[in-house]
Amino acid sequence: MDRKNAWNKYDDEGRKRIFSFADSYKNFISECKTERECVKEAVRLAEESGYKNLFDVINNNERLEAGDKVYAVNKEKAIVLFSLGKEPMENGLNILGAHIDSPRLDIKQNPLYEDSGLVLMDTHYYGGIKKYQWVALPLAIHGVVVKKDGTVVDVVIGEDEKDPVFCVTDLLVHLSGEQMEKIAAKVIEGENLYLLIGSQPLEGEEKEAVKAMTLKLLNDKYGMEEEDFLSAELEIVPAGKARETGLDSSMIIAYGQDDRV
């Protein structure tokens, strides 16, 4: 099959439009790395385009007509948008669907522990990840924490240039002879995807001083206590923004480019 290069379909003006669209797409894929972030941005974009919240329409006893546009959000993690047509529903409707979740690591409910002077978080993986791709990689924490008083706190650590990042450690190459003999699915076991988050002890603490320092930093910034992990939803994703790929900037490399594209 002879495939023609898609770029050849566009003149200079067409290519400018493509790159302009790609700039908006890169912003979206960079800022929206979790379902909650995707939904929040989708609501903003929908309202900018004239969509109304369906629950507001219902509460206000408004009547919808052909041409109206509404949206509804389910538990801050899914969104549906409707554009009302003129024909009756029994004549059918057009549906476009996409998922907004992506493979990632999730932090467990009781994740924090200290071992050999390091503080780590226990994780489990979500989606069909290739586990060996998640080691020695700069990672960020995204999510929400529900505190004891019911306050919901948004958490994003690792995306700002001034933020620290995190990682899952791997063996040095000259210590990994046995590891290198394993098949790809076994090179890194899911049970070993521990997130490294600290090594500095809290002054004056004798037991688990590094863990105490980590908890102090979380409390100082987010007002968060260790028990709050039980009601937190924290996801581990690759840190950093989408980037153009190739000398001609003709491609994009980014996390989450599955159905989100």
Does 194 share its domain with 111?
yes
CB atoms within 10 A of CB 24: 10
Contact 213, 206 (CB under 8 A): no
E strands present in 24-164: 52-53, 69-74, 78-83, 104-115, 118-126, 139-146, 152-157
As beta bridge partners, residue 251 has 245
Same domain, 163 and 225: yes
- pLDDT, tens digit, 9 for 90 and up, residues 26-52: 999 999 999 999 999 999 999 999 999
Q: What is the pLDDT of residue 236?
A: 98
Which of residues 100, 118, 145 is at a domain's end? 100
Compute CA distances 42 → 74, 96, 111, 134, whole Å: 13, 15, 31, 28
The parts of the chain modelled with pLDDT lower than 70 are none
Residue 202 lies in a domain: yes
Residue 73 belongs to some domain of the structure? yes
57 and 122 assigned to the same domain: no
Q: Is the same domain home to 117 and 139?
A: yes
Count of domains in the chain?
Answer: 2
Give me the pLDDT at residue 42, please.
Answer: 96
Query: What pLDDT score does 259 carry?
Result: 75
With the C-alpha atoms ordered 240, 244, 245, 247, is the resulting torsion angle positive or negative?
A: negative
Q: What is the pLDDT of residue 261?
A: 80
pLDDT at 244 (0 to 100): 96
Sign of the C-alpha dihedral computed for residues 179, 189, 165 and 160 taken in this order: positive
Q: What is the pLDDT of residue 89?
A: 87
What is the reported pLDDT for 128? 87
- So what's the pLDDT on residue 82? 96
- Structural domain including 123 reads 104-238
Q: Are residues 178 and 130 in the same domain?
A: yes
We report the CATH number of the domain holding residue 217 as: 2.30.250.10
Backbone φ, ψ for residue 197 (5° rounding): -130, -5
Statement to judge: residues 109 and 232 lie in one domain:
yes
Q: Where a domain ends, among 80, 100, 120?
A: 100
CB count within 10 Å of CB 60 equals 9
- Indicate if 159 and 222 belong to the same structural domain: yes
In this structure, the answer to whether residues 95 and 119 fall within a common structural domain is no
Residue 260 lies in a domain: no
Report whether 197 contacts 214 (CB < 8 A). yes
pLDDT at 72: 98
